[in-house]
Amino acid sequence: MTGRETLLSIEGLTKAYPGVIANSDVSFRIGLGEVHALLGENGAGKSTLVKMIYGLVRPDAGRMLLRGAEYAPADPHAARKAGVAMVFQHFSLFEALNVAENVSLGMENPPSQGQLARRIREVSQAYGLPLDPARLVGDLSAGERQRVEIVRCLLQDPKLLIMDEPTSVLTPQEVEILFRTLRQLSAEGTAILYISHKLEEIRALCDTATVLRLGKVVGTCTPRAKSARELAEMMVGKLLNETRRSGSAPGAAVIEVQGLSVRSPNPFGTALKDVSFSVRRGEVLGIGGVAGNGQDELLAALSGEVSAPKGAVMLNGTDIGALGPNGRRSLAVLSAPEERLGHAAAPDMSLTENAVLTGAAREGLVRGGFVNWGKARAFAERIIREFDVRTPGPGNAARALSGGNLQKFVIGREILQRPDVLVVNQPTWGVDASAAAAIRQALLDLAEGGTAVIVISQDLDELMEIADRFAALNEGRLSAPRPTEGLSIEEIGMMMGGAHGMEVAHAQG
């Protein structure tokens, strides 16, 4: 280990949920001022572990010692009093409240609003995270929202700061700034428990790494001393096949989007502004960007959930902007939204019923207004078989499936309908590594068969792996697409809008 004085020691923590053991006998130590990585795949048990440290979940067995004293927080208030703070992956923020109110809600003994606003300004400047305390959180970018969470933690002078997948919502430039802040904190003696599955980040930032797999600690190491490949092997347990890409040249343009501007259906959503691009047969266009910059809106405008202005969305030269989702499906324009439960699939419905959701027309599942349930079931079974969806059968409810399996079902449902254009948003979000690899391969194979594929994703590595060209969404605008080959991380970051709201810090830095 690092030879530092131990701050938090975790001894034999175990937590079981029905059917899953989330954590089994997990033990490790975090030293004072140490940046400690918790590395693992989706479903490895990282979230459950940090929830126990933060007092949201009680362990079934095992104990924790904070500076040698028994530490068993009954709730987050107790954790915060003991000097443990947490930045959530899905932010614990309130959109209709302002920054100061949001910060105040996460503090134990907040000062008056006026005083708090002053302290927010001070702390945010000191750590290079500028924030206006009076702004409504709903109007902030994802990066700025994260700053609210971090500042909220910092105001309580924490001894241990837990960060759950903090970089998934940041541009590369913003990641750099975050790392500077974290290093500063570490130098001041604050320990950081940094949860991620991004290996390069962990190698760049962390002093020690504890690797979790299926709820168990499978190793502890110094990440700088290991290669990314070695870390991946520890995390996944086996080496994955790399995706195969064919070198075949794309054909003629299939779908053309020209000057697309639409308002968001959500009050805090982002409107699309003058978005233009085209995708050719057999081509994969990757669209990156930080969450909340118009991804949902772009998918909705392409899927037909939101109708587009005249001439903005053209399929082989015909205007399809006025058509609804089923109208576009009949023309082989298919899509798979980001939110699996509740958008791409109905959680409480069976897989057979979910097969009808988008397959009704193209698969002939509805005749004369009546659903042919036999045929629907056969279609669901075909998806399950061909895309290796692990489930007892098509009668199972969608929400009973794991994230990876449901995602394979959703993507498979669209691919089996032989699309000419397929739009997917976050195809591998929250999906385990092997399912993610299978989905990416399926998308590449589809493109090879001549489909124009649009992949919207916040995972830049994913886009670099499968896309032929890359463009980024930033505040509803799309950058001009560029070939992925030879694109540097700095260039990508600038396309994504650089560091949002950081003009001041830039001038100083």
Site for another protein (CB under 8 A): which residue of 32, 57, 331, 464?
Answer: 57
Residue 311 · residue 300 · CB < 8 Å: no
Q: Token pair of 496, please?
A: 């994504």
Of 171-179, 269-277, 353-361, 483-491, which part binds another protein (CB under 8 A)?
353-361
The set of long-range contacts for 25-29, using a CB threshold of 8 Å and a minimum separation of 24, is 25/62, 25/216, 25/217, 26/62, 26/212, 26/215, 26/216, 26/217, 27/62, 27/217, 28/210, 28/217, 28/220, 29/1
Residue 263 · residue 274 · CB < 8 Å: no
Q: Token pair of 168, please?
A: 């998934």
Question: Which C-beta is closer to another protein: that of 12 or that of 130?
Answer: 12
Q: Which residues contact 250 (CB under 8 A, 6 or more apart)?
A: 280, 281, 282, 283, 468
Of 28-36, 339-347, 420-428, 484-492, which part binds another protein (CB under 8 A)?
339-347
Site for another protein (CB under 8 A): which residue of 31, 40, 43, 110?
Answer: 110
Taking residues 225 to 264 in sequence order and writing x for each that binds another protein by CB under 8 A, - otherwise, the string is ----------------------------------------
CA–CA distance, 331 with 467 (Å, rounded to integer): 24
Q: Which residues contact 316 (CB under 8 A, 6 or more apart)?
A: 254
**371 contacts another protein (rule: CB under 8 A):** yes
Of 181-189, 344-352, 419-427, 487-495, which part binds another protein (CB under 8 A)?
344-352
Q: Token pair of 324, please?
A: 């609804």
**69 contacts another protein (rule: CB under 8 A):** no
Which one-letter DSSP state was computed for residue 168? G
CA–CA distance, 350 with 394 (Å, rounded to integer): 6
**321 contacts another protein (rule: CB under 8 A):** no
Site for another protein (CB under 8 A): which residue of 180, 343, 382, 418?
Answer: 343
For residue 195, give the nearest of 184, 185, 181, 210 by alpha carbon: 210
Which one-letter DSSP state was computed for residue 345? B
CA–CA distance, 303 with 280 (Å, rounded to integer): 18
Site for another protein (CB under 8 A): which residue of 353, 363, 459, 462?
Answer: 353
**60 contacts another protein (rule: CB under 8 A):** yes
Question: Which C-beta is closer to another protein: that of 456 or that of 467?
Answer: 456
Residues 395-424 that bind another protein (CB under 8 A): 396-397, 399-400
Total length of the chain = 509
Site for another protein (CB under 8 A): which residue of 7, 257, 344, 436?
Answer: 344
Pair type for strands 469-474 and 284-288? parallel
Phi, psi at residue 150, to the nearest 5°? -65, -45
For residue 96, give the nearest of 151, 141, 140, 152 by alpha carbon: 140
Q: Supply the minimum distance, in Å, between the C-beta of residue 273 and another protein.
A: 19
For tokens 């002078």, name the residue.
Answer: 157
Residues 290-309 that bind another protein (CB under 8 A): 303-305
Q: Supply the minimum distance, in Å, between the C-beta of residue 49 and another protein.
A: 12
Q: Supply the minimum distance, in Å, between the C-beta of residue 131 and another protein.
A: 18
Taking residues 79 to 98 in sequence order and writing x for each that binds another protein by CB under 8 A, - otherwise, the string is xx-------x-xxxxxxxx-
Q: Supply the minimum distance, in Å, between the C-beta of residue 263 and another protein.
A: 11
Q: Supply the minimum distance, in Å, between the C-beta of residue 457 and another protein.
A: 19
Q: Token pair of 125, please?
A: 């400047």
CA–CA distance, 258 with 241 (Å, rounded to integer): 38
Q: Supply the minimum distance, in Å, between the C-beta of residue 223 and another protein.
A: 28
Site for another protein (CB under 8 A): which residue of 62, 130, 269, 309?
Answer: 62
**347 contacts another protein (rule: CB under 8 A):** yes
- Which helix (H) or strand (E) segment holds residue 53: the answer is helix 46-53
Q: Supply the minimum distance, in Å, between the C-beta of residue 78 and another protein.
A: 8
Q: Supply the minimum distance, in Å, between the C-beta of residue 508 and another protein.
A: 32
Q: Supply the minimum distance, in Å, between the C-beta of residue 321 and another protein.
A: 16
Site for another protein (CB under 8 A): which residue of 5, 27, 68, 105?
Answer: 105
**70 contacts another protein (rule: CB under 8 A):** no
Q: Which whole-number Å values give the CA distances from 338 to 192, 291, 358, in the listed order?
A: 30, 11, 15
Q: Which whole-number Å values give the CA distances from 493 to 276, 288, 300, 464, in the listed order?
A: 20, 10, 25, 13
Residues 11-50 that bind another protein (CB under 8 A): 12, 14, 18, 48
**337 contacts another protein (rule: CB under 8 A):** yes
Site for another protein (CB under 8 A): which residue of 68, 189, 311, 342?
Answer: 342
Q: Which residues bind another protein (CB under 8 A)?
A: 12, 14, 18, 48, 51, 55-57, 60-63, 75-77, 79-80, 88, 90-97, 101, 104-106, 110, 267, 303-305, 324-327, 329, 337, 339, 342-349, 353, 356-358, 360, 366, 369-371, 373, 396-397, 399-400
